[in-house]
């Protein structure tokens, strides 16, 4: 009985790994399609703000797919996801502060 349950568990794990592999392949194809849309979007004659907004939205979608599936945050504990976003927020705030500190106006020479 134990050998049978072990074989069933091994078969179940193999099926689980196969389904995860299929998810990874599908997400990789979706990311490739989104990248193609981003490349095409650059050459479309629309207003600049529409193109930039579209590119930012598509980039955020790609980012979310990568962090939740390829970095395994989807299957991690919620605490790990919260820690990730806290770190991301701190990094974004630091980057914004540095950009404001060393902006183009700050790098102009002083009047003599």
59-98 per-position pLDDT tens digit: 999 999 998 888 888 888 888 889 999 999 999 999 999 8
Q: Report the percent of the chain where pLDDT is more than 70.
A: 83
* Mean predicted lDDT score pLDDT of the chain: 84
Give the C-alpha separation, 73 to 25, whole Å: 17
- Of 2-16, 52-66, 94-108, the poorest mean pLDDT is in 2-16
Rounded to 5, what percent of the chain is helix, strand, coil?
80, 0, 20
Q: How far is CA 66 from the centre of its chain?
A: 4
Report the run of H or E that residue 69 belongs to, with start and end.
none
Into how many domains does the chain fold?
Answer: 2
pTM of the model: 0.65
Mean pLDDT, rounded, for 31-59: 94
CB 62 within 8 A of CB 35: yes
Note whether 64 and 84 are same-domain residues.
no
Q: How many secondary structure helices (H) and strands (E) does the chain include?
A: 3, 0
Give the C-alpha separation, 1 to 4, whole Å: 5
Note whether 57 and 42 are same-domain residues.
yes
Note whether 24 and 66 are same-domain residues.
yes
Range of the domain at 93: 76-112
């Amino acid at each position: 009985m134990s050998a049978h349950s072990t074989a069933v568990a091994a078969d179940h794990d193999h099926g689980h790994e196969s389904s995860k592999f299929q998810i990874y392949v599908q997400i990789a194809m979706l990311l490739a399609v989104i990248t193609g849309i981003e490349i095409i979007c650059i050459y479309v004659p629309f207003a600049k703000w529409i193109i930039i907004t579209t590119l930012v939205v598509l980039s955020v979608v790609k980012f979310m797919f990568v962090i939740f599936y390829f970095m395994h945050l989807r299957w991690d504990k919620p605490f790990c996801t919260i820690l990730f976003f806290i770190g991301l927020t701190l990094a974004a705030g630091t980057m914004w502060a540095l950009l404001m500190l060393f902006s183009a106006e700050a790098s102009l020479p002083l009047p003599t």
